[in-house]
Amino acid sequence: MRSTQVNKKLLKDYQPFVEEEVIESIIELSRELKGLRVLHVNATSFGGGVAEILHTLVPLMKDCGLEVDWKVIDAPPQFFDLTKRMHNALQGKEDFLSEEDKRLFEKVAKDNAAYIGIDEYDVAVLHDPQPVGLPAFANFGNCKLVWRCHIDTSSPNEVFWNYLNTFLSYYDAGIFTLKSYAKDGIAIEKIYDIPPSIDPLSNKNRMLSEEEMKKAMTKLGLVSGRPVIAQVSRFDPWKDPMGVVDAYRQLKRKFPDLQLLLIGSMASDDPEGWKIYEDLLRYIGMDYDVKVLSNFHGIGDIEVNAAQRISKVVLQKSLREGFALTMSEAMWKKTPVIGGNVGGIPLQVHHGVNGYLVESVDETVEYTERILENPDLAKELGRNGYEIVKKHFLCTRHLLQYLELFRDLTR
């Protein structure tokens, strides 16, 4: 396992965005929990929602006086092929789990478990299926164990679920984005529902200067003055990038100026990304108004931030989805959103209030058209989205819920 370094963040800098009671409650709990030794373990330090959240929560927990480590498991590429299959199967995909798969999964758990010292931590939070097996092989001593599941496991492939569930009996608590994501019969007794959050001060979400916007536009290769719609997601079939292209093609007939931006990072724990990326390029063919970009084109947080700001609509046309941070990110920038009516998207997107929920390409076309044709409506949707994020999906609320959980488990 390798330690991940994080930049410093201070709770006081968040005061302008957050209700006073939230900050006061955090400070009060911090006093109680001062010195608590916390470990977070996940599969990657970059790419995807989990890493995004940990880069904010880890430094904020430190600023609250907790002693926090973030470690990333070491594993060979075949392991990440397996865990990506596991991820898909836990969202319901048909697949077969062989004895060899199990041996590989357990070997990685065992190898990484060797880095855990007895009673080195008071609480350990293991994120998603990749590190879930560690407690079966490590001696955590009296450390309280939490499994944070970021995916919707309510109707999983049974074989994969039953295998995973054998590891869950080691845990003291489970966190899901929604309580209903935890499958009946789960071997963890205490289930908490805590949705993810965004960081209003990160490069991904903070205000950008004119200069920064200009530079980002050049990197994105967009023609200014012409409308843009965008989807920002890993290249993953569940995110349905082809469906977005289909919708764009229909819209293009009515809005010949329209540009489509597909931004997708390649996470080290997501081996499917390259294949989908290549399939997507083939599917698009020659169309200079479609840009498919990734971190390999130098597209980082500031460019994603700019893209979410200049887009007329930000799409997340997922077919399955844990939460979709990309929705809250766009909403924070007062951009109207259209999301698949699945998983955590309806938690954030309220149909007709801050955007629209869709179940098909045709619906995506219909509602995108409505927004593109009505600038006043777009403004109102954008304003409402911002208020929803401010109230429910900022990292301060998330931090408070984690601290409450730590208190429940340790006091």
- Positions that interact with ligand UDP (CB under 6 A): 48-49, 52, 204, 232-234, 263-265, 294, 304, 322-326, 329
Q: Which of 17, 59, 25 lies closest to 392 in space, CA to CA?
A: 17
Between 160 and 323, name the residue whose CB sits nearer to ligand UDP. 323
Report, in Å, the least distance between residue 334 CB and ligand UDP: 17
DSSP symbols for 372-399: HH-HHHHHHHHHHHHHHHHHHSBHHHHH
Between 30 and 348, name the residue whose CB sits nearer to ligand UDP. 348
Report, in Å, the least distance between residue 56 CB and ligand UDP: 10
Instruction: Spell out the residues 6+ positions from residue 323 whose beta carbon is closer than 8 angstroms to its own.
Output: 49, 150, 177, 195, 196, 343, 344, 345, 347, 348
Between 70 and 121, name the residue whose CB sits nearer to ligand UDP. 70
Report, in Å, the least distance between residue 220 CB and ligand UDP: 12
Q: Taking each helix axis from N to C terminus, what angle separates 325-332 and 49-63, rounded to the nearest 10 degrees?
A: 70
Q: Which of 73, 186, 189 lies closest to 134 in space, CA to CA?
A: 73
The CA distance from 331 to 375, in Å, is: 16
Report, in Å, the least distance between residue 298 CB and ligand UDP: 11
Between 101 and 329, name the residue whose CB sits nearer to ligand UDP. 329
Report, in Å, the least distance between residue 337 CB and ligand UDP: 12
Report, in Å, the least distance between residue 348 CB and ligand UDP: 10
- Strand 37-42: give its sheet, edge to edge: 2-3, 67-72, 37-42, 123-127, 144-149, 173-176, 190-193
Between 164 and 198, name the residue whose CB sits nearer to ligand UDP. 198
Between 30 and 231, name the residue whose CB sits nearer to ligand UDP. 231
Structure tokens at 341: 């009516």
Report, in Å, the least distance between residue 58 CB and ligand UDP: 16
Q: Which of 288, 281, 290, 311 lies closest to 216 in space, CA to CA?
A: 311
Between 30 and 259, name the residue whose CB sits nearer to ligand UDP. 259
Question: Could you give the C-alpha distances from 14 to 54, 142, 199, in angstroms and in order?
Answer: 17, 34, 9
- Give the residue at shortest CB distance from ligand UDP: 49
